[in-house]
Amino acid sequence: MNYQITLQPGQQQFSAHPEDTVLHAAQRVGIDLPYGCRNGLCGMCKARLLSGQIHYRQEAAGLTETERAEHYILCCSAQPRSDLTLSIAPVSPASPFQKRRTPVRVETIQRLNHDVLQVKLKLPDSIRFAFHAGQYIDFILKDGRRRSFSIASAPQDSTHIELHIRHIDGGRFTGEIFDHIKVDDLFRIEGPLGSFYLRDTSARPVILMAGGTGFAPLKSIIEDSLARGIPRLLYLYWGARGLRDLYQHALASDWATRHPQIRYIPVLSEPDPEDHWQGRTGLVHTAVAADFPDLSGYEVYGSGPPAMVYAGRDAFMHNHLPRHQYFSDAFEYAND
């Protein structure tokens, strides 16, 4: 039995099976709701339940007690148990690029540092893979398990996809890939997916905030912007523990040296003595908030751990960033 879900304002409707999450059911019919981690952590998919009953398939840690009392739910984790009416605004029209499932071949593998692999996938000759810079794909293992990875390459190359795969302690999927992937292995992918991409509708300066491999989709956005000659000012803040964790620090520094519209601000939370670090220290979202006390005229794109994305959102709203000018992607830390 399916339930009917109605979104307000706008009265968009779609149906959902009791095993669907609200987010999945919406995405299936091309309705683009805001989301980040898809794991009940970041709170980015929050909506207000105006009527109906839901069940959580996992703990909704991304909600405060006050939000629960005010009937907010997390669309990435809530499954319908009746018809629902929700108050939530879709973030944008659905991506114009058709999601597809396709085989890919591993063309190259390169270790970028102690725990990040760069994997370049080759698409079949007959396929041109179109996507927005910043979107992600699902990587499907032979047994059907899947995991999401941001595309690190720019869409101008429609025959290859670059991924940055970090070894996550205790992560079965990433551990398997990290330890066993070989050149010429065949996999299937599905995509492009997600609503994390640079909005072209304004000329506002942009702050790109990355934590760890959250750098990957921002790399795609920067390379795409350079290829298209977009003149918007781009501030890249990249937060990591030590210098070795900024696994493409030289590349980011080079962008800033060659292109006056790009500023690069690396921020280390625990630099090693041997890093001889003279740059910014602390948490990356704190550095952004300190540098921009008034964010009302900016767009901010945050990509990385849910804690960073969530803390950044709160700090930036406090610095007058309108909610609709904050975009985030936090799925690396979704279920592994």
Query: Applying CB under 6 A, which residues contact ligand FES?
Result: 35-45, 62, 74, 76
**Residue 266 or 312 having the CB closest to ligand FES:** 312
Please state the closest distance from residue 330 (CB atom) to ligand FES, in A: 6
Q: Measured on CA atoms in the order 65, 308, 310, 27, is the torsion positive or negative? A: negative
Please state the closest distance from residue 289 (CB atom) to ligand FES, in A: 21
The two structure tokens encoding residue 251: 């590349």
Give the nearest residue (CB) to ligand FES. 76
Please state the closest distance from residue 8 (CB atom) to ligand FES, in A: 19
**Residue 70 or 200 having the CB closest to ligand FES:** 70
Amino acid found at 169: D
**Residue 209 or 222 having the CB closest to ligand FES:** 209
**Residue 44 or 154 having the CB closest to ligand FES:** 44
Identify which of 165, 96, 101, 102 has the alpha carbon closest to the alpha carbon of residue 132: 96
**Residue 73 or 268 having the CB closest to ligand FES:** 73
Beta strand spans in 141-296 (E)? 146-150, 160-166, 186-193, 206-211, 234-240, 262-268, 280-281
**Residue 106 or 334 having the CB closest to ligand FES:** 334
Q: Which helix (H) or strand (E) holds 326?
A: strand 326-329
What count of Cα atoms within 13 Å lies in the side-chain half-sphere of residue 131?
32
Q: Where do we find the tokens 């009527």?
A: 51
Report the Cα 274 to chain-centroid distance in Å: 32
Please state the closest distance from residue 335 (CB atom) to ligand FES, in A: 12
**Residue 46 or 219 having the CB closest to ligand FES:** 46
Most distant CA pair in the chain: distance in Å?
Answer: 62
Contacts of 228 (CB under 8 A, 6+ apart): none
The two structure tokens encoding residue 304: 């990385």
**Residue 73 or 116 having the CB closest to ligand FES:** 73
Contacts of 224 (CB under 8 A, 6+ apart): 133, 154, 155, 156, 198
Please state the closest distance from residue 306 (CB atom) to ligand FES, in A: 6
CA distance 235 to 238: 10
Output Rg (C-alpha) for the chain, integer angstroms.
20
Q: Which helix (H) or strand (E) holds 122?
A: strand 116-122
Please state the closest distance from residue 183 (CB atom) to ligand FES, in A: 34
Please state the closest distance from residue 23 (CB atom) to ligand FES, in A: 7
Please state the closest distance from residue 136 (CB atom) to ligand FES, in A: 13
Is residue 56 within 8 Å of residue 22, measured between CB atoms? no
